[in-house]
Structure 1
Amino acid sequence: MTTTPRTAIVTGAARGIGAGVATRLAEDGFAVAVVDLDETACKKVVEDIETAGGTALAVGIDVVDEQAVQAGIGRIAEELGEPTVLVNNAGIIRDNMLFKMSTDDWDSVMGVHLRGAFLMSRSAQSYMTKAGWGRIVNLSSTSALGNRGQANYAAAKAGVQGFTKTLALELGKFGVTANAIAPGFIETEMTAATAERVGMTFEDLKKEMANRIPVARTGKPADIAAAVSFFASEGAGFVSGQVLYVAGGPQG
């Protein structure tokens, strides 16, 4: 007897952490909606998942657009299955010191991280509460503790933690958990771009960061994917409203 796989949505999944998470959830047996701003950019991840025997669908959604979110999640429910796992990973950076940070730098970061997580969660939770089972995993960051040059990003990522705890309180009685993961330094295209912006090679930046991390290495998308895999699992049903720092050492 075969059973229909549960459906998971991963935003910002065309590359980096999101791609790693989407791949891992597919390995765990979920049908995965690979979501990003550009649907075409998601197709490589979908192909990799399908080649490995999994089920995936590329979906283009601008997470700050209310109508796009509703339409996109509706399409996922129809074409892939009603979603019961949501990973809010979509994010951008617009780093600058406070006195040089533009209002648009602030609004853009808040929009993607907070408005995006809100719109996606509000839309997806209806399927989860109906099913009596659901998992929401939000990506925060060690920057939530404060990080020079990231007033916007730090505030957004701290906001994600408060949002997560509130979802846990509101949705728990419906069988839905909500947890956050706060990565430290992870090797992605985004951190490679940071190296370029500060005038370092990526290898030099990774070495410098590894020297500061107790486990003496930098993180990889698979490290975050493993944490998501736990939070999305059946066994994590008694864990909710938590923030897990995946950073190679103690934080906070």
Structure 2
Amino acid sequence: MSGNNSLNPDDKQVAVVVGATSKWQSDGRNTKLAHGKVVDDSDLPIGVRWGVGGAIAQKFAQEGYFVVLTTRVATNASALAEAIRQQGGACMVVELDLISEQSISAAFARIRSEAGDPHVLVYNAGYLEGRDLPPEKELLEHLPVEMFDTAQHIASRGPFLVAKEVLPSMRKKGAGSFFFSNNSKSLRGVKRKTGESLYYPRVMMRTLAQVLTEEYSEHGVHVANVVIDGTIDSPGTRMLPKLRQQPELVMNPVKIAEAFYYLHTQDRSCWTHELQLTPFLVKPSH
């Protein structure tokens, strides 16, 4: 399954999390934008420190998988990798830039060589382009094309290229899971009147999940689109004024991770292909 330079002990099953870190982790981009500094996460449960990607990675490691953490810059995931190892799990960090086809290809070549073919792939890459623009510049006519290119790469072109890397081996084995971590913008556009033009590529991510379901289910590959319809608990989000007043609005990433593992362990006689997770205080999006 793996090459001579394998880092995977005992050739464990491999779970790859694309986007294993969070922009809302203690030193994340959005945390710094919102709070003007790196925040202290030492008093937070370890399961929430790196958002959904980190929680999913920890869950699969706890279940005995060799976990591959991909991130644009390896140092972003170093603390998460250390936490997984301290919990008795096995993992590696691989740099992967979804804007670069060459980076994606090189990353998966390394994964196959040092870990093995993925048994489960969770595509958790997200973006918050344009959120640091002033309100008067949020209309589509003001948005730089470069911002749209980033959104398109992450929500549409990126998952297409990642799928090309992992689906052939899953099809040949007749087994595997390919899951998308998506949000409510993939269902119904947006609630705000402006500032959301960059998010319609999320609809294409959902459509890709539907297409891959049609193409690969008969080959034993479980494809699902998971709609996370709310704000995820993390060091940066739980300090936001609104969420400090109503902590019930935030979603527990540990429980979200359990939903992903549940999907992966479903019997193939009753696969779920789309799952929506919504906090109880919020009306579900449609």
TM range (shorter): 0.7 to 0.9
> Counterpart amino acid of 1:156?
P
CA contact (8 A) 2:98 2:158 kept: yes
Match of 2:242 among 205, 229, 238: 205
1:165 aligned residue (210, 216, 231): 210
Task: Point out the structure with max Rg over C-alpha.
Answer: 2
Measured in 2, the distance between the counterparts of 1:237 and 1:122 equals 26
Query: Counterpart of 2:15 in 1: which secondary structure?
Result: strand
Aligned mates of 1:5, 1:246 — CA distance in 2: 30
Q: Distance in 2 between matches of 1:102 and 1:88?
A: 26
Deviation at 1:187, TM superposition (A): 2.3
Q: Structure 2 CA distance, aligned partners of 1:205 and 1:103?
A: 32
**What corresponds to 2:275 in structure 1?**
244
Q: Which has the higher helix share?
A: 1
Shift of 1:143: 2.1
DSSP-derived class of the 1:83 partner: coil
Offset at 1:88? 0.6
Q: Counterparts of 1:33 and 1:237 in 2: how far apart (Å)?
A: 28
Q: Which has the higher contact order (CA 8 A, sep 6+)?
A: 2
Question: What's 1:22 paired with?
Answer: 57
Kept in 2: contact 1:185–1:219 (CA 8 A)? yes
CA distance in 1: counterparts of 2:246 and 2:214, whole angstroms: 36
**Distance in 2 (alpha carbons) for counterparts of 1:233 and 1:45:** 24
Question: Could you say which residue in structure 1 is the equivalent of 2:105?
Answer: 70
What is the Cα deviation at residue 246 of structure 1? 1.1
Structure 2 CA distance for partners of 1:208 and 1:159, relative to 1, 3 Å:
farther
Task: Kindly indicate whether the alpha-carbon contact (under 8 Å) linking 1:37 and 1:62 is maintained by their aligned counterparts in 2.
Answer: yes
CA contact (8 A) 1:42 1:59 kept: no
Query: Which string of whole-angstrom CA distances, capped at 9 and with x for unpartnered residues, describes residues 183-214 of structure 1?
Result: 1221236x74xxxxxxxx9342215666xxxx
1:31 aligns with 2:66: yes
Contact 2:127 2:154 (C-alpha < 8 Å) held by counterparts: yes
CA contact (8 A) 1:161 1:243 kept: no
Change (3 A) 1:222 1:82: same
The alpha carbon displacement at 1:59 in A equals 0.4
Instruction: Give the number of equivalent residue pairs.
Output: 235
Which deviates more from structure 2 when the two are superposed, residues 242-251 or residues 84-93? 242-251
Alpha carbons 1:177, 1:237 under 8 Å: kept: no
Corresponding letter in the other structure for 2:18: T
Q: After TM superposition, where is structure 1 displaced by more than 6 Å over at least 4 residues in a row?
A: none
Residue from 210, 223, 234 that aligns with 1:188: 234
SS across alignment from 1:140: strand
Q: Secondary structure in 2 aligned to 1:93?
A: coil
Question: In structure 1, what residue type is equivalent to 2:198?
Answer: N
Pick the aligned partner of 2:189 from 121, 125, 146: 146
2:177 is matched with which residue? Answer: 135
Q: Which consecutive unaligned segments of at least 5 residues does structure 1 have?
A: 193-200, 211-215
Alpha-carbon distance in 1 for matches of 2:163, 2:217: 14
Contact 1:140–1:158 (Cα < 8 Å) also in 2: no
CA distance in 2, matches of 1:239, 1:208: 38
TM-score, with normalisation over the residues of structure 1? Answer: 0.85
Q: Flag the 1:109–1:188 CA change in 2: closer, same or farther, 3 A.
A: farther
Identity over the aligned pairs, expressed in percent?
24
Stretch deviating more after TM superposition (158-167 or 74-83): 74-83
Stretches of structure 2 lacking an aligned partner (at least 5 in a row): 1-8, 22-49, 131-137
Q: Contact 2:231–2:249 at 8 Å: present in 1 too?
A: no
Partner of 1:218: 250
Task: Give the structure-2-normalised TM-score.
Answer: 0.75
